[in-house]
Amino acid sequence: MTRACAPVMHGYAMTAHKSQGSTFYCSIVDVRDLYGMARKSGAEDYHRALYVAVTRASDYVWLCI
């Protein structure tokens, strides 16, 4: 008997700050999480973190809003 399964890959998560300087094929950005940071730090820090998070992907970016 053989078993057919879809290939499974480990998922990784990191903060926008930790991703600085890295490049990924694709990334998923949880904007809601960054918005929580904006309420504490202000709009300028929010925009900076969002810019960093969105520009890390070389091909695809998904925004969860």
Cα end-to-end distance, the chain, whole Å: 44
Per-residue confidence band for 54, with pLDDT thresholds at 50, 70 and 90: very high
Q: Which residue has the higher pLDDT, 58 or 35?
A: 58
DSSP H/E element including 63: strand 57-64
Q: What is the pLDDT of residue 34?
A: 80
Closest CA to 38 of 51, 54, 49: 49
Which residues, 6+ apart, have CB-to-CB distance to 51 below 8 Å?
A: none
Q: What is the pLDDT of residue 46?
A: 86
Compute φ and ψ for 29, nearest 5 degrees. -110, 120
* Res 57 pLDDT > 80: yes
Q: What is the pLDDT of residue 10?
A: 65
Give the Cα separation of 30 and 41 in Å (integer). 17
* Res 19 pLDDT > 90: no
Say what the pTM is: 0.70
